[in-house]
Structure 1
Amino acid sequence: MVTGTLDRKQERIIAGIPPVSDFSGIYFYTINNKSNHELVMLLDSIIGLNDSVLSDWLNITPRTYRNYKQNTDVVLKGNVKEHIVLLLSLYKHGVEVFGNTADFEHWLTEKNRLLDNEAPYSFLTTVSGIKFIDNRLTALEYGENV
């Protein structure tokens, strides 16, 4: 699982999130899940990077992201919610591949010559970028250098 610091509700949420590659599963999970605030808080709990990085990935301001965290009745736009679900799914996969969040985040933040000397986290601002990095994680699982 992602981390030992999650409560049972958060563990159930992360367990129910489909893989990034399951496009229809992600779609239906996103539209059927009404726990917007819980998704934001789960993202904040799992990811050890600061609010500026997370807001950049979500294409919102840090202030908006902080407001999402503070407002328990937040209603997320569909694209922001989908992005959060995909990031959670990517993290779930990344921790499975690397064994823990710290090692996964280290890989995410280090420049990678096989990615045109970009750090993998720089691709996470778009849905296609998340899918690309998820594909790289799958390649790592099968022994490819990424």
Structure 2
Amino acid sequence: MKNKAYPINESTSQIVSDIIAPYHKMYANPIALLSSSKTGLNAKAALDFINVSGFSYQEFQDTFKTTVKTIQNYFTQDLTLDASLSEKLLKSFALYEKGMEIFGSAQAFHAWLNTSAYGLGNQIPFSLMDTITGISLIEEELIRIEYGDLA
């Protein structure tokens, strides 16, 4: 599945960092992640993730197994997301933060997500993001890249 072009310049990378920042404390450690997930995120978190990730609406829907229209309705009604979706969003925010740290920008990380990765069995990382295990595998690959272990 090919992702849409995602135009980002350096000022956009700062905006992306600013969007992610409020969620950082919610996934800073496993206990915070669990607690925040069980409490449920405000639906705005999903809309923020769409802005950060560059996912098309269809890609978001395929990855998170919910419709953007549902998210928008939840946002309008000031409802919280369920624990499962909240957890996946928080793990995805953490993933993007790590990816930007390693690749230097949201644009570079987004490009990597859509390129086959040797350490992931030549799979495209984006295609693994629909499960928590897939997100964890991508995180592990990012750590290997960070430490120069590309084999």
Q: Which runs of 5+ in 1 are unaligned?
A: none
Q: Which residue of structure 2 aligns with residue 25 of structure 1?
A: 32
Structure 2 Cα separation of the partners of residues 96 and 17 of structure 1:
18
Alignment of 1:99-114 (within 5 A): 99-114=104-119
Distance 1:7 1:136, change over 3 A: closer
3-state SS of 1:138 partner: helix
Write out per-residue CA displacement over residues 25-51 of structure 1, whole angstroms, 9 at most, x where no aligned residue: 31123234x551221121022011211
Would the aligned equivalents of 2:17 and 2:97 in 1 still touch at CA under 8 Å?
A: no
Would the aligned equivalents of 1:3 and 1:46 in 2 still touch at CA under 8 Å?
A: no
Write out per-residue CA displacement over residues 43-69 of structure 1, whole angstroms, 9 at most, x where no aligned residue: 022011211111111123xxx223303
Identity across aligned pairs (percent)?
A: 20
Q: Report the residue type matching 1:87 in the other structure.
A: S
3-state SS of 1:134 partner: helix
Deviation of residue 82 (structure 1)?
Answer: 0.9
Between the two proteins, the alignment pairs up a number of residues equal to: 138
Alignment of 1:1-146 (within 5 A): 3-5=13-15, 10=19, 12-19=21-28, 22-32=29-39, 35-60=41-66, 64-72=67-75, 73-145=78-150
Would the aligned equivalents of 1:58 and 1:125 in 2 still touch at CA under 8 Å?
A: yes
Q: Once superposed, what is the RMSD of the aligned Cα atoms?
A: 2.4
Write out per-residue CA displacement over residues 97-139 of structure 1, whole angstroms, 9 at most, x where no aligned residue: 1111110011101122432221011111111111111011111
Q: Which runs of 5+ in 2 are unaligned?
A: 1-11
Would the aligned equivalents of 1:40 and 1:69 in 2 still touch at CA under 8 Å?
A: no
Structure 2 Cα separation of the partners of residues 17 and 66 of structure 1:
25
Q: With the length of structure 1 as denominator, give the TM-score of the two structures.
A: 0.81
Structure 1 Cα separation of the partners of residues 15 and 135 of structure 2:
24
